[in-house]
Structure 1
């Protein structure tokens, strides 16, 4: 069973472990290594912020990743989506798909979002396949969008029409094999 709950202080060690894992962070743009101290300072700012919401993903009550929205823009009813499955044993099992569905439905109810967008490096083909499977559509290419570790990063921008997603989806099924 998959569920998501708001990120809590006790989740910090998991986030630090996942983000510092080279198999996980290849396409993430964190100032590495991530430390528990730095993450605790970040966590302390969350309650005051209204521009983001962070959740921990659970698979059979075990924390396996993080998911959420950044740059929440209530006026324009849009936000930037992110996800990170931190436990590689749970990749390809439908966890990300189910967690994303839960997040989109929650955002539609509580935030009234109509558009969800994301950025992905052009080389991150596995993520792009996942985003298309969810229903995100590629809207464009942003050349030299970031400078990370001294190199330029080209990124695609994808977007999802939330109302269309809700209309065309009865929820997703998870393959628990």
Structure 2
């Protein structure tokens, strides 16, 4: 069995386990299960196309900042100027996830994370220049060419519009092509199905599972580590 087959096998088994765990406590009817299965099948048939069936656009290699697109800009972070926005964004539950070290179960203080010299951040802005979120490479290891990806759309009214996914795609391209990263990795809870799916669409693959690493709401949860390698 090839490495690619092994990766697919573990990814499939992990996703099936997650779905099974999530559905088990919902007391669904047979019709409900059929509807879920149909939704999964519809998603699979879309494949590498967009939601409208059209092929996804492949972005050009990003080699410098700022990154300018038709609806957003990613610029270099100015720690003194941008810290107030970052501190505000990390007050709600979604923002606090950006501060959470999944393996250590530790929430860092915003200032400690933001000013760490081993972390590199980019500010996600509207085309007008108004900051709306942040992307980052944490614990950048230049000798080994690797870093941890984190991303956050800080303005709650702008979440769920695909901006975080688009910003992540551009930031990953910047990391691979401008920073010469060989490997980009991330951590996510097994219950975050939407995030796992987005990560896979960005090219990340399951690398390992930390089984029942944390207890969330009284329920043991797995932590997934996913990674993307420069081809």
What TM-score do the two structures reach when normalised by structure 2? 0.57
Which residue of structure 2 lines up, in the alignment, with residue 91 of structure 1? 159
Tell me if 1:139 matches 2:214: no
Tell me if 1:18 matches 2:85: no
Whole-Å separation in 2 of the counterparts to 1:111 and 1:118:
17
Whole-Å separation in 1 of the counterparts to 2:148 and 2:113:
18
Q: Would you say the 8 A contact 2:119–2:138 is kept in 1?
A: yes
Tell me if 1:56 matches 2:127: no
Tell me if 1:104 matches 2:172: yes
105 and 26 in structure 1: CA distance in 2 versus 1, 3 angstrom threshold: closer
Whole-Å separation in 1 of the counterparts to 2:221 and 2:150:
17
Q: Would you say the 8 A contact 1:69–1:81 is kept in 2?
A: yes
Give the C-alpha shift of residue 152 in structure 1: 6.5
Which residue of structure 2 lines up, in the alignment, with residue 173 of structure 1? none
Which residue of structure 2 lines up, in the alignment, with residue 174 of structure 1? none
Deviations 1:95-152 (A, max 9, x none): 1122112212221233211211000111222211211121111122112546899997
Whole-Å separation in 1 of the counterparts to 2:134 and 2:180:
21
SS in structure 2 at match of 1:20: coil
Give the C-alpha shift of residue 27 in structure 1: 7.2
Which residue of structure 2 lines up, in the alignment, with residue 3 of structure 1? 73
Query: Relative contact order (C-alpha < 8 Å, sep 6+): which is higher?
Result: 1
What TM-score do the two structures reach when normalised by structure 1? 0.72
Whole-Å separation in 2 of the counterparts to 1:118 and 1:54:
15
93 and 148 in structure 1: CA distance in 2 versus 1, 3 angstrom threshold: closer
Structure 2: gaps (5+ residues)? 1-70, 101-105
Structure 1: gaps (5+ residues)? 164-177
Give the C-alpha shift of residue 65 in structure 1: 1.0
Q: Would you say the 8 A contact 1:59–1:95 is kept in 2?
A: no
Give the C-alpha shift of residue 12 in structure 1: 1.4
Please give the residue correspondences for 1:144-163 in structure 2 after superposition, counting only pairs within 5 Å. Answer: 144-145=212-213, 154-163=222-231
- Work out which of the two has the higher radius of gyration on C-alpha atoms and give 1 or 2: 2
